[in-house]
Amino acid sequence: MQTAISIEKIRADFPILKRKVRNDKQLVYFDNAATAQKPIQVINAISDFYTNHNSNIHRAVHALAEEATEAYEMTRDKVAKFLNILDRQEIIFVRGTTEAINLVAYTWGRQNVKAGDIIVTTEYEHHSNIVPWQLLTQEKGAKLEYIGVNDDGELLLDQLDTYLATGKVKLVAISQMSNVLGTITDMPAVMQKCKKAGVRVLVDGAQSVPHMKVDLQNLGCDFFAFSAHKMLGPTGVGVLWVRKELLEQMIPFHGGGDMIREVHKYETTWNDLPYKFEAGTPNIADVIGFSAALDYLNNLGMDFVRNHEIEITKYALEKMSAIKGLKIYGTKDISKRGGVISFNFADIHPHDLATIIDEEGVAIRSGHHCAQVLMERLDVAATSRASFYIYNTKEEVDVLIKSLEKAARLFKL
């Protein structure tokens, strides 16, 4: 009963959940792996900045500039506390996970990867953790290798041992949670293997940070990237964390204002960390909006977030498994997966299925989910995906089930 009361209070903070969509149906939003909805606290924080504090940061000494700078930098402090980062200088604001990973590839990668080296990633990565490494290895004459996925959607980590044994692996780039299968990577096992081999590790935390407690001191990786918009914050904001000893050696990704100390005709010296990597006017309002999102999640507690999603996902898996002809991908072990369920339904194309479900007001995702390497492994062109968050309810899952049953009737399954 307490959970139900809490969820209703949470839902009241999200104006969009009151919307009616197709056929005057109540919106049921199950596309949270793509982006989360925003609470009124985040919306108000952005509005307040533009209404009362709008100014550029780090430059002027007038009142608005000081207020804006203080609010912007306060977000950096909150990120540090949220992820247990001990040095705020290691936190770089970027546009999202994609830019964060590209930054590492274009700076650390181009300085450290050479011909014959190996970069290891996995078959269940998002394209943003594959394409930058393809570009880098092609440019450098290095090699990109993949850790495979078994039929339960879990990584075949013995393959990592094989790659590490070559002595040529320079980096392992791996997601902490799959955006398609929901699989939670066994990061302690990965880190143990890589540390023993002296190999750097980049972790894509886009799907993990919004849904579970992440402690970077315990995780032990070297690079960590995630996005604000998947965790109640605005789009266009992300975070890259890098160990300071690595960050100090990395060259800037962008050149321009604020990332410099002095500029002369033929030479430039760089600003202190982290500003060396934050050229130009940043996305000030949305970083401040992200601050409100962090407050919201902290007030709930990440244990609450995780436990609620386990409850909803377990319920959905049970209901969906009872539907004839519906194939669910990924592990059935709820402790090893997040709130993401990818599935196919008989011979119904995922886009057709999503269209039918949309007519009932239910928003799911259909397609390859920017994970075509995984689609090839699953031997499918696309899947349907329902993904859950803090404001979703079992009653909404029931609406999804009814819409799937409607699709079965339409296609005479």
- Give me the helix-helix angle, 394-410 and 350-358, nearest 10°: 120
> Going from the N-terminus, what domains does the chain have, and what CATH number goes with each?
2-30+301-410 (3.90.1150.10), 44-298 (3.40.640.10)
Least confident of 79-88, 142-151, 260-269, 358-367: 260-269
184-194 average pLDDT score: 98
pLDDT score, position 326: 96
Percent of the chain at pLDDT > 70 equals 99
| Token output for 351 | 């886009």
Residue 3: pLDDT over 60: no
Higher pLDDT, 74 or 410: 74
Q: Which residues are catalytic?
A: 370
Residue 6: pLDDT over 90: no
Measured distance CA(19)–CA(29) in Å, rounded: 10
Confidence of residue 5 (pLDDT cuts 50, 70, 90): low
Q: What are phi and psi of 305, to 5 degrees?
A: -60, -50
156-184 average pLDDT score: 98
Residue 4: pLDDT over 60: no
pTM of the model: 0.96
Measured distance CA(253)–CA(110) in Å, rounded: 11
Question: HSE of 197 in the Cβ direction (CA atoms, 13 Å)?
Answer: 22
pLDDT score, position 1: 37
284-342 residue pLDDT tens: 999 999 999 999 999 999 999 999 999 999 999 999 999 999 999 999 999 999 999 99
255-277 residue pLDDT tens: 999 998 999 999 999 999 999 99
First-residue to last-residue Cα distance in the chain: 37
Question: HSE of 336 in the Cβ direction (CA atoms, 13 Å)?
Answer: 13
139-153 residue pLDDT tens: 999 999 999 999 999
pLDDT score, position 145: 98
